Chains A and B, each alone.
Chain A
Amino acid sequence: MSELAAVYDLVLAACAAITALATLACAYRVAVGPTVPDRAVALDTIGTCVVAIVVLHALSSGRSFFVLVAVMLGIVGFVTTVVAAKYLTEGAIIE
């Protein structure tokens, strides 16, 4: 039991590290993306990766409260994407 639990913790830590590196790589596209929609797409991807990281934290700590945090972050990321697209299209969000 303890050996398998140790392997489980190791797998979760490695996956969290890989996901965090992927999120940082998305930040590269945010910084140097040639057009503004590139940056919006990269920010959307960062939001989804952060949702995955929060779910990983809920798994590794065993606290199910963080699943709610992940869903809320997903909602905020979607609203952000919609607002960014509307701003890019029309130049104003609330008229």
Chain B
Amino acid sequence: MTLALALGAAVARAPALARPAFAAAAESGDAASAAPSDLRLALVAVFVVVGTFFLAVGTLGLLRFPDVYNRMHATSKATTLGAASMFLAGFVRFGPYDAGLTCLVGIVFLFVTAPAGAHLISRAARKLGVPMYPDDENRNG
């Protein structure tokens, strides 16, 4: 117990030893004042473009597919990938010492919750008796 406390105090007293210099730079000023490098900006732009592409494709599937289940199939995967790519861009932009870890947590959260939500809605649609696309006419007729 006391050993753990002493270790924790030692680690807390020497933060400059354990962490690289840019971590201290990221803490002293906010991320806007510390100008990111060109490579980092280019990588952020690539991730943002990929995420926008996936979001647009997911929305196109939501608009064009003929059925609740087909629409869910389109949106729950493509939109998750799009938002995860945006979060990856945030991780690249802000680095692992500022808000990048929050971005990674957001990615994990999206990958856990989006299939769960889509499954719940499709189960509700099935219980409501929403017909599937190929035998649409048979059920209504």
Contact = CB atoms under 8 A, between A and B. Distances in A.
Contacts of A75: 109
Interface stretch (B1-9, B14-22, B55-63): B55-63
Nearest to B82: A52
Nearest to A62: B32
Contacts of A40: 121, 124
A55 B89 contact: yes
A49 B75 CA distance: 11
B contact face: mostly helix, strand, loop, or mixed: helix
A53 to B, nearest CB: 9
Interface of A: 1, 4-5, 7-8, 11-12, 15, 18-19, 22-23, 25-26, 28-29, 35-38, 40-42, 44-45, 48-49, 51-52, 55-56, 58-59, 61-65, 67-68, 70-71, 74-75, 78, 81-82, 84-86, 88-89
A56 B102 CA distance: 15
B62 A18 contact: no
B125 interface: yes
Interface of B: 30-32, 38, 41-42, 44-45, 48-49, 51-52, 55-56, 58-59, 62-63, 68, 71-72, 75-76, 79-80, 82-83, 86-87, 89-90, 93-94, 98-99, 102-103, 105-106, 109-110, 113-114, 116-118, 120-125, 127-128, 130
Contacts of B58: 22, 45
Given A25-B59, A85-B120, A64 B31 contact: yes
Contact of B121 (A26, A29, A81): A81
Contact of A11 (B49, B86, B121, B123): B49
Contact of A45 (B32, B38, B75, B120): B75
Contact of B109 (A12, A58, A71): A71
A89 B62 CA distance: 22
B114 A48 contact: yes
B63 A25 contact: yes
Contact of B117 (A19, A58, A62, A81): A81
Among the interface residues A29, A41, A51, A81, which one has the most CB atoms of the partner chain B within 10 A?
A41
Given A37-B125, A48-B80, A71-B109, A59 B59 contact: no
